[in-house]
Structures are given as structure tokens and as C-alpha cells.
Amino acid sequence: MNEMPNRPSPAPEALAMRSTPTRGRPRGRSGPIAVLDIGSTKMTCLIGRVDSDGSIRVLSVGHQRSRGVRAGSIVDLDQAEAAIRATVAQAEEQADQPVRELVVNLSCGQPQSRHFDVRMAMHGDAVTDADLRRIVAEGRMRAYAEGREVVHAIPLGYAVDGTSGVRDPRGMVCESLGARLHVVDASVGTLRNLAACLGRCDLEIESLVAAPFAAGLAALVEDERELGVVVIDMGGGTTSLAVFADGQLQHTDVIPIGGQHVTNDIARGLSTTVSHAERMKTLHGSTDAAPGDERDLLPVPLVGEDDHAIAKVPRSMLIGIIRPRLEETFELVRARLDAAGLGSAAGRRVVLTGGASQLIGVRDLAAAMLDKQVRLGRPPALRGLPDVAQGPAFAVPVGLLIWAATEGQVARDLAPVGFAGIPGPLRRLFTWLRERL
């Protein structure tokens, strides 16, 4: 480890976090909580609150088809603004609650994970919250790369006078304090476009949370997070993965392939419209062939032809288009996990979330290609959460809500006051654009 001088950090740090059970009780955050999942195929806004008994209650759900987003990134500001406005307005109307700040998912900007070891001299003093902020801030500075910005800086564990395995060193007296940090960063330009789009909607970003991190908070049980598990969130434009072990997020990555690519393959392969290809995938799609697939003929309207030009194709042809693309996706996931060198930390379990994970046969295909035990992950049945939002496709927005009420509460507890002389809204804007971007 490199020695860090015992001096205040030049930048504030609000993301020092400890492990919080996935389904544990929130720490008492007051007021409404608003989260926004910006996906390539759908946008979801949840507004909730923490009840007096410590449980999370969902007040409203806004859900719209996504526009202006490709592979998780904003590609058309006007269309994305309109979709976000409609999504948030729907949630605001249901909850009768205006929204200004949101916790937003991060799946754009090619997020990358890196680990850093940092050590700080303590000279026999007791460890305080300020020391944790300083050691994490030092890790953020060392992680700096041109054109990149740190989104998460998560302490995976601490070492007190060389003794590792300490989860919370506050109050402990030591000569030196070390930390193993997991840093997730993303492209600055992409983050600025995201902030600009939300700014046009008169919305502010309270926090960014990596999409697979959020999916894991919603879909995993505490033992899985402790023993080691891989979460694969199969979205429309991206497939993102997160590795949890020892109760913490150890690694995250994003692959720019998702359910939309399967749909486009079907549309091209069968010369039909994208909308009909999506319908065929949803109603008849599978990765497993059955004996009767050759005889099971499906109607396919040909693109550009009149309504009477309908071909008939065997279901086996549809499966023959879907399976190779999903095989490619899991091959890339396996390659990314191997390249990360996580070994046993990734465990023997895989949890699939996201809309594309619901395709028939995906679970068995993932188990065969990744050589792991696979299950389909669903978010917990929070109070007020409608049935339509309790499937794997809603793991990320529900996870964002859980993060805002639990994991994010720790980040707020450790955040310095900073910029005390600047009015609230201007201070938040200044902090976001200058400190984070």
C-alpha cells in the first residue's frame, strides 16, 4: 500500500458505505423518495417513503416507453426529455407529490470497476467519520483518469494496524488505517448529457447508482451477497453484471447487447417489422427447441408489403435466430468475468433480472454456458408496489428505491456539509457540475 499523509481531503466525499442487508429495515429517512430508471426500452419512476415501522411504501409508479435512449445513453435530448417528463409526471400525479431530486440508474458511459489500496497514518488516534471520508476521497483522487468520473467509491474492508477484515473501524484506536476501495467510474461526457437532459426537465440528480448494483439490492437475499453471486441484468439495450461477495459490490460491467438486439435480429431474419418481431419474441420466443417446432407455423407480415402479404415460418426458425444472440451475450459475460479475475469471489450462483431474462429457456441456457446455478430474480413485494411492477423487469427501479432508503442513507450520514454559504438549489447544482462532473 502507498502511505497517505494525515491531512484533510481537498474534495468532499459522500459515498463511504457499509454493508446493509438487502431486505433490512431502512435507517429512518424522512420525506418522499423519488427514483428514475432510464432504460433503452422503458422508463420507470417510483415515488415512495419510509413508514413509521421502518418499511418502504411505494406511493406511485410512472411507466413509459423509452425514447431518445440507446444502449443506456442519451442520443436524442428532445425525445429523451419528453419521455422523462411523461414518466415523472405520471408518478407525480398518482402520488400527488412534486419531484425535484431523483436517484437515477447508471448504465451509460461505459462504467468500469477498479480496486485501490489506500493507507492513512492515524498516530494513535481513534477513527472517526472524517477519517473514513478522507481515505475514500484519496482513493477517488487516485482513480482519476482523463475523461472519466468516479461514481461509486465503496470501501470493501478496512485494515487496522495491518489487521484486515475490519468492516467498521470507527472508534478503534490505531497507528495506521488502510482501506480496500472499489471504484466505479464512467465517461464524463455521457454523464453530462444525462445531467443536461434531466436539467431540461427541471429535475436534479440526487445520486447515481450503477444499474446492476440496484438490481442486486432488489433481487438478492443477504446470504447470496455474503457468499458470492453474480447478478446479470438483461435490459433492452445493455446487459449489465455485478458481482457481490462479503456483503459488498465487488465488480460491475456493462455489455452493449440486450433484448432489442434479439428483436432486431428477428426483424432482419424474417423481413418483418420491428414491432411484430417484438411481439413474436414475447409470445413465441424461446431458446429451447421442441419436437413440434418444425410443424408450428407462425404468421409473419412482410415489411413494406400490403396487409395480405403474410408469410408462414416454422417456430424453429424463430428459435434459430434467438438462441445464437443469447449465446453470444452469455459468452461475453463469461469473458468479462474471467478478465476480472474474481475467481471464487463470484461464487456459484447467478441471478438473472431484467425484461430479457423472462424469455423461455434463458435460465437453462445461462446455467449451461456459465456453469453456475441460475435463478430468476424478482424484487421484494414492497407495500403499495403493484403486481405489474413485481417482475424481473422492475428490479432496477425497486433497487434504486431500496438504495435511497438504506445504502444511500449511510452515504448521507457521512457526507460533509460543504459550501455552507451557497443557497440550497444552487449549492446542489454547483456540487453536481463541479465536484462530480
pLDDT tens per residue, range 200-244: 999 999 889 999 999 999 999 999 999 999 999 999 999 999 999
Mean pLDDT value of segment 149-161:
88
Over residues 59-80, the mean pLDDT reads 92
pLDDT bucket at 408, cuts 50 / 70 / 90: low
Residue 308 binned pLDDT confidence (cut-offs 50, 70, 90): confident
Q: Going by C-beta distance under 8 Å and a sequence separation of 6 or more, which residues neighbour residue 407?
A: 17, 20, 217
pLDDT beyond 70 at 276 = yes
In the three-class reduction of DSSP (H, G, I as helix; E, B as strand; rest coil), residue 109 is classed as coil
Whether the predicted pLDDT of 170 surpasses 70: yes
DSSP 173: B
What whole-number percentage of the chain has pLDDT above 70?
86
Reduced to 3 states, what is the DSSP secondary structure of residue 46? strand
Q: What is the dihedral sign for C-alpha 8, 14, 15, 20?
A: positive
pLDDT band at 141 (very low <50, low <70, confident <90, very high): confident
Q: How far apart are CA 273 and CA 181, in angstroms?
A: 47
Region 170-174: mean pLDDT is: 93
Confidence grade of residue 30 (pLDDT, cut at 50, 70, 90):
low
Bridge partners, residue 183, by sequence? 114, 153
Residue 26 carries which DSSP code? P
pLDDT at 133 over 90: no
* Partner residues linked to 126 by β-bridges: 173
Rounded average pLDDT over 249-255: 93
Given a cut of 90, whether residue 278 has pLDDT beyond it is yes
Evaluated on CA atoms 386, 391, 393, 398, the torsion sign reads positive
> Percent of the chain having pLDDT more than 90?
59
pLDDT at 16: 35
Report the phi/psi class of residue 111: left, alpha or beta, with left for phi > 0 and alpha for psi in -120 to 50. beta
Q: Model pTM? A: 0.85
d(Cα 121, Cα 72) in Å, to the nearest integer? 42
Q: Is 334 a residue whose pLDDT tops 60?
A: yes
Helix (H) or strand (E) run with residue 143 in it:
none
428: confidence class by pLDDT, cuts 50, 70, 90: very low
**159, three cell numbers:** 485494515
Residue 201's contacts (CB-CB under 8 Å, 6 or more residues apart) are 81, 84, 85, 88
Q: Give the per-residue pLDDT at 58.
A: 95
Would you say 402 and 48 are in contact if contact means Cβ atoms under 8 Å apart? no
pLDDT at position 3: 46
The closest alpha carbon to 83, from 43, 135, 25, belongs to 43
Least confident stretch, 31-45, 101-115, 262-276, 326-340: 101-115
Average pLDDT over the chain reads 85
Given a cut of 90, is residue 143 above it in pLDDT? no
pLDDT (0 to 100) of residue 388: 87
Binning pLDDT at 50, 70 and 90, where does residue 20 land? very low
How big is the CA angle at 190 (ends 10 and 203), to the nearest 5 degrees? 80
